[in-house]
Structure 1
């Protein structure tokens, strides 16, 4: 039921990457101090997670030096999520996270937890103040709440321009504190799932279930620092280079993910709740080129990340926006992503092998590549309003990190692709 949480430091990066159009927006703000962006987005995976998201962003300018940004996001999620358990040749039975009730998975199918549903509300605000022609500061607060997750954070940034505003140095940081309240309580790491059918009475079952739980609430703290340089190269092009450092401590295990223990024939003997380290240090580097062509704007970027979990990733991304006339444009979006697996990632554990300290079969931290292909169209309306709509296709391709699979898994897909459609309609005024 957890989604990756967006950090405010990322919004600072996005704002910097849009520097070419920032001047035009500033001119608009002088004529109209209010700017509102509203959007509704649909995200749908094939036979898995479905999400509908509403977004509202309001910007208010106070003279030429101060700006207030406020954003509201509401998500409604439902569907099924891969639990991490391996497929089997027979029907499998799993206990729901709450301990109340069970669900079954057909023979040969990837086990999906159909309890994935939630509503998330996120609210953030950011104040930007231009202290002088060369100094700008900003700060903001962030809050997000869903049924089993609460996140609160703050961010601040400082910018200094040089060389007749052709060079900008930016330093930003953020801190967030998250509280996780898993449904049914926090599972004991690598404890075995219990099934009601294995116990003679409800009392015996609940005693065994409660023995797999370790309290009701966990916490996580995240601190991010981002250092960036934006350089205007000529009248049409700019370049941006960023370095980011992220430190996370606390509960990072997904309480709803499992790891199967199998025998030499690949038959699942039990399901263990996964276990992850309680700290993570991540480094990232980012390079962007953004330019204006005769009747188009395009950007090309590359990002590299690495962390002490053993995950390294590469992201190549480009947007090409062509203006057919003053009131209509089309945009192509291409993105390719590749990552290595975490040191403790494994598709399953084998009977008789020593139990590791950490283990996860979550494909999201496994070896994979992914790509996105998207189109967006926008119309300039009377009064400076804009209507835009986009549609994208996303495919994630998990891969075997080099594990020699047991013969019992022949014919089963332990690393199934994830395919999704993203559709969004936006209105700015």
Structure 2
């Protein structure tokens, strides 16, 4: 048998497969192969001594004519590593029972408590359809499905975009609704309940521990729903300058806690006496204001944006994001990237609780809800290949610096690092064809 050395048309193969899923014939797919566009990417994200993630993405876009456009995306994430529990470091070693109740783990003296059993795989599917419905008016609708080991999410969205002023101005309105279900290993803990400790994890039948553990469980699973509204204005200023303004409103209702986060209860010397599960409000309303400007120059494109967000948890944040594409030649470019982020702490954030004090209604030691600054610094290099495809590489450094939001630290906690810096490296390879 003679083997053919004819190169395989990957775009055609993927286009045919995608059309089969949509109910389009292979002949139709082959006829419009050149209109299929694919974007693929493989990204690595690694925090120092913490979480590591590897993400693969493939996105497809198809114009069926007359601006009837389908787009779809498949994302697969693999996450491993250690995640901060919210408990404070201590001058002596600490032993914790795992969230499932099965087994213990030890944290060395002076170290931030991290649960090293963090492991998950996420699969996400997106599909979107866009088409004109009247002169200068376009509609778009889509679905999203995401599944993890203990998290399931369904979402749908719809939007309208209206062009006016000879298509130099576009007004847009978007809506989306998501329903999420969380079913953590071990179940949903009771808010602010004392975390059960298993002194004999090797003992298979420990009725006393099982009773204590079960008494801290509220239910096996819980859910939340999220409604987002977005109003947008895009304006062409001149042949080089484009601006965009958005206002977003987001409301969340339901289970917002992280079932794996604790707070340490410490005495006057700062020594941990017990742990309690966190509790956050079951509603959240967030407003965001976004401005973006793109300016085309002879040698490239400058892109800068600013976002201000505020919510009824009292988290105010500011984000500045800037990119500068510099064309090195007709087929190659580099793109420096800088992003700065600053946020205030949630009104119920506290790094620990004091023994003997009345339990608050809401409390969380999750550093992601605390006061912080963060920045990203990176560089992207892209090239257009002889066949018109594009290959690019991105390397970035990320640093997050939590801060003390005005809490006094009793006793030994003054010598502990309660707000450790999080550092990460991001690397990505992308291929467009």
User: TM-score, length-normalised on structure 1?
Assistant: 0.92
Q: Distance in 2 between matches of 1:172 and 1:240?
A: 15
Q: What's the CA shift for 1:31?
A: 9.0
Matched, 1:331 2:330: no
Q: What's the CA shift for 1:370?
A: 0.3
Matches within 5 A, 1:35-74: 35-74=37-76
Q: Distance in 2 between matches of 1:360 and 1:86?
A: 12
Q: What's the CA shift for 1:64?
A: 2.8
Corresponding residue SS for 1:383: coil
Aligned residues: 400
Q: What's the CA shift string for 1:10-33, capped at 9, x where partnerless?
A: xxxxxxxxxxxxxxxxxxxx9921
User: TM-score, length-normalised on structure 2?
Assistant: 0.91
Corresponding residue SS for 1:114: strand
Pairing partner for 2:178 from 173, 176, 190: 176
Q: What's the CA shift string for 1:106-156, capped at 9, x where partnerless?
A: 000000011111000000100010234411110000000000000000000
Pairing partner for 1:273 from 257, 266, 277: 277
Corresponding residue SS for 1:197: coil
* Contact persistence 2:55–2:76 (CA under 8 A): yes
Matched, 1:367 2:371: yes
Q: Distance in 2 between matches of 1:133 and 1:419?
A: 50
**Which residue in 2 is equivalent to 1:427?**
431
Pairing partner for 1:218 from 208, 219, 222: 222
**Which residue in 1 is equivalent to 2:27?**
none
Q: What's the CA shift string for 1:241-270, capped at 9, x where partnerless?
A: 100000000000000000000000000000
**Which residue in 2 is equivalent to 1:322?**
326
* Contact persistence 2:303–2:323 (CA under 8 A): yes
Q: What's the CA shift for 1:196?
A: 1.4
* Contact persistence 1:65–1:131 (CA under 8 A): no
Q: What's the CA shift string for 1:304-323, capped at 9, x where partnerless?
A: 00000010000011010011
Matches within 5 A, 1:9-48: 32-48=34-50
Q: What's the CA shift for 1:197?
A: 1.2
Matched, 1:141 2:139: no
Q: What's the CA shift string for 1:28-50, capped at 9, x where partnerless?
A: xx992100001100000000000
Q: What's the CA shift for 1:69?
A: 0.3
Pairing partner for 1:389 from 387, 393, 396: 393
Q: What's the CA shift for 1:408?
A: 1.5
Matches within 5 A, 1:148-297: 148-197=150-199, 202-297=206-301
**Which residue in 1 is equivalent to 2:413?**
409
Corresponding residue SS for 1:206: helix
Structure 2: tracts of 5 or more residues without a match = 1-31
Larger radius of gyration: 2
Pairing partner for 2:107 from 92, 105, 108: 105
Q: What's the CA shift for 1:410?
A: 2.4
Matched, 1:119 2:124: no
**Which residue in 1 is equivalent to 2:133?**
131
Q: Distance in 1 between matches of 2:132 and 2:34?
A: 19
Q: Distance in 2 between matches of 1:63 and 1:383?
A: 24
* Contact persistence 2:253–2:282 (CA under 8 A): yes
Q: Distance in 1 between matches of 2:336 and 2:349?
A: 35
Corresponding residue SS for 1:410: helix
Q: What's the CA shift string for 1:49-90, capped at 9, x where partnerless?
A: 000000000011101320100000000000000100000011
Corresponding residue SS for 1:138: strand
Corresponding residue SS for 1:57: strand
Matched, 1:91 2:93: yes
Q: What's the CA shift string for 1:342-389, capped at 9, x where partnerless?
A: 010000000111100111000000000000001000010122100001
* Contact persistence 2:91–2:412 (CA under 8 A): no
Structure 1: tracts of 5 or more residues without a match = 1-29
* Contact persistence 2:339–2:377 (CA under 8 A): yes
Q: What's the CA shift for 1:193?
A: 1.2
Corresponding residue SS for 1:142: strand
